[in-house]
Copies of this chain bind each other. A is one copy, B any other.
């Protein structure tokens, strides 16, 4: 079995690299996708491609249209989605991407700390599996290959 998995979540640390590293160590045949992790590039891509925009709202919309195009292509190609929540940041894109996965009936793993049990209870209940750490998420993936 070969899997493709979209990694939704914040882009402020290297959690995706950790996950990819561990998957590689276990020789799991998984292609990982995820949002643009270069934050500045992600914010500037609209003006970078379409030129200077007249105001901040147009600048944001130009960037997000290109990010959304990229995400939709990757989500289409993915067999499952992992959504990671932490204690920092608004993480509305993470929740939105998890919702899209639910709407598309794609299997979903939620990673969230114990401190977020209550505010994420509806999302957790709609996920296939809820875990607390990246290692546990990887264990779930590894189990699908056993």
Contact = CB atoms under 8 A, between A and B. Distances in A.
A3 B69 CA distance: 13
A70 interface: yes
A11 interface: no
Contact of A69 (B33, B102, B109): B109
A139 interface: yes
Contact of A79 (B61, B73, B95): B73
B49 A131 contact: yes
A68 B128 contact: yes
Identify the 9 closest CB pairs spanning chains A and B, nearest first.
Answer: A103-B103, A99-B99, A95-B95, A96-B99, A64-B121, A60-B121, A64-B125, A69-B128, A100-B103
